[in-house]
Structure 1
């Protein structure tokens, strides 16, 4: 039985998840309008003011002031959750239960799965199960270095988000997952993304091309992990983490690609992708669908998965 896909995010170093079907889009933190008499803050989403709930408060954790690095998960019920950081998309390890209070369950791997957002909002965080406290030395969110600059950034984002939506047109929408690799942003269509996870261990394989970083086990399945920097001769600029694996599949071929981190998930009209300027990227045209928002290279995951040059035979060739 297939399980639904989840959007993973963190709140005070706790990994949480929300059914992807509930998510409309994810945006960076914006300046919010204070709520009245204890009501939640609001944001102007294309002329409509929607409530913004702090995921920290909903989970019974101490709240803090928003940071420019926070994310807003806008859900289809015309509300938004303020979270620390979006991690990516992954298939749920368990079937979703029937809607019931408090709308949250704790999975075996310690993920806080919000399976019924309406029940969580109605309950105000009562009875929410949480994993044990994170160990000392875990990642701690730091305030922005320049508060004035961060404030201007949030105000600019808010003005952009408040702009009226363009009239819908016939162009099809593609849902894309954006990630950073070697100081540039790339994206793939989420229909080819099976899951995203943080690397725990990759086993090197002797005698394979240098673009194969190694193999790893995912839910009992052994998959190869590909370094796209090596495949496409992408210059290695600045510091890289390469601590995320995006598992791509078309139902026939499956392998992972390395990424520094996940930056966004949202939709883009396929007809609005711009052509790739010659010389702007070493990636061949056959592996690109176009450029979104001026600087985000949208990869053709179908072409990458179909490339027989990325398939390693038993002879290691």
Structure 2
């Protein structure tokens, strides 16, 4: 069983072995490309390291468009270096029994296979990127892109977001600049309210599959599930924080939180965005606006998004199965 990271490009579903991926970040303002590379879209500064960015749209022969704040960069390992693949969005991680070709197969494009259901599996990133300019990618009938051009957006605001992200990612991890600190946030919808969590505490996001109930645990622990061979508990924040179950809800995403010691998943209706925000722009949360205790909150953004304190949630002893909540 190989675990794959699935992402989308113009309506197509692509995947890369999870073992080859380093992280996924929000799209940033790109610098001009250095040299001529097939599919090269530019470079990004990742903590002081220049990382080449490849456009999957160009690599797959799809219509090009400008970067959007909703796009993502999949940072992958390649021969001891890092490269970034520009995609539209991430679907999650899933195990796959697919067998990769043991050697070059003239019937398939270099480094990739096309599954029966139209998915593009990039099993050898080096070969995929090194393919000749004239290489053809015979997508199966019915799998052509469905994006229909650039989605509506505010170009000026989008440019500001991408520039802000680029600046934040360019800061060395250990550098103390005295400037305003930034946080990368993942936002998600739950019970008709939008929440955010710092991505440094997010290990992965996947579509919810089978969850096994566990008797005798607090009601906010809905059960356990297996994630890449690891058994984790899954938490319903609505029950943990006594959030009223108002509005339509469809809990179909699991956000895996981890601080290196404690790991568990939380349920969400769906993921809404990934962006960078100066931490000094968080406003205090008025107690009457939410039943969530202040110790679990970092603040609220100008867009009324409640920013949860993942460190406090992970440190809560109640998160461990077998313990009772204080």
Band of TM-score, shorter chain: 0.5 to 0.7
Cα distance in structure 1, aligned partners of 2:110 and 2:275: 25
- Structure 2 residue matching 1:126: 3-state secondary structure: coil
**Structure 1 residues 313 and 185: alpha-carbon distance in aligned structure 2, compared to 1, 3 A threshold:** same
Which stretches in structure 2 are left out of the alignment for 5+ residues? 29-38, 42-52, 76-81, 95-108, 169-176
Query: TM-score if structure 2 supplies the norm length?
Result: 0.61
Aligned counterparts, 1:112-151, within 5 A: 112=121, 120=129, 126=135, 151=152
Describe the superposition over 1:75-116 as per-residue Cα deviations: whole angstroms up to 9, x where unpaired.
Answer: 899x99462x333689xxxxxxxxxxx9965699x7745986
2:91 is aligned with 1:87: yes
**Structure 1 residues 282 and 22: alpha-carbon distance in aligned structure 2, compared to 1, 3 A threshold:** closer
Of 268, 280, 285, the residue aligned with 2:277 is 268
Q: State the Cα distance separating 1:313 from its structure 2 match.
A: 1.0
- Give the equivalent residue in structure 2 for 1:286: 295
- Give the equivalent residue in structure 2 for 1:14: 13
- Give the equivalent residue in structure 2 for 1:240: 249
- Structure 2 residue matching 1:86: 3-state secondary structure: strand
- Give the equivalent residue in structure 2 for 1:198: 207
Of 278, 295, 309, the residue aligned with 1:300 is 309
- Give the equivalent residue in structure 1 for 2:191: 182
- Give the equivalent residue in structure 2 for 1:55: 56
**Structure 1 residues 113 and 227: alpha-carbon distance in aligned structure 2, compared to 1, 3 A threshold:** farther
- Structure 2 residue matching 1:279: 3-state secondary structure: helix
Q: Please tell me the root mean square deviation across aligned C-alpha atoms, in Å.
A: 5.1
Cα distance in structure 1, aligned partners of 2:123 and 2:187: 23
**Structure 1 residues 271 and 159: alpha-carbon distance in aligned structure 2, compared to 1, 3 A threshold:** closer
Cα distance in structure 1, aligned partners of 2:230 and 2:74: 32
- Structure 2 residue matching 1:309: 3-state secondary structure: helix
Q: State the Cα distance separating 1:13 from its structure 2 match.
A: 4.6
Cα distance in structure 2, aligned partners of 1:121 and 1:217: 36
Cα distance in structure 1, aligned partners of 2:147 and 2:136: 29
- Structure 2 residue matching 1:202: 3-state secondary structure: coil
- Structure 1 residue matching 2:71: 3-state secondary structure: strand
Q: State the Cα distance separating 1:54 from its structure 2 match.
A: 6.5
Describe the superposition over 1:266-296 as per-residue Cα deviations: whole angstroms up to 9, x where unpaired.
Answer: 3222222221123222111000111234322
Query: TM-score if structure 1 supplies the norm length?
Result: 0.62
Q: State the Cα distance separating 1:244 from its structure 2 match.
A: 1.0
**Structure 1 residues 169 and 184: alpha-carbon distance in aligned structure 2, compared to 1, 3 A threshold:** farther
Which stretches in structure 1 are left out of the alignment for 5+ residues? 1-5, 28-39, 43-51, 91-101
| Greater CA drift, 168-177 or 207-216 | 168-177
Cα distance in structure 1, aligned partners of 2:163 and 2:200: 29
Whether contact under 8 Å (1:174, 1:269) holds in the other structure is yes
Cα distance in structure 1, aligned partners of 2:161 and 2:218: 45
- Structure 2 residue matching 1:206: 3-state secondary structure: coil
- Structure 2 residue matching 1:214: 3-state secondary structure: strand
- Structure 2 residue matching 1:71: 3-state secondary structure: coil
- Give the equivalent residue in structure 2 for 1:72: 71
2:212 is aligned with 1:213: no
Cα distance in structure 1, aligned partners of 2:130 and 2:6: 19
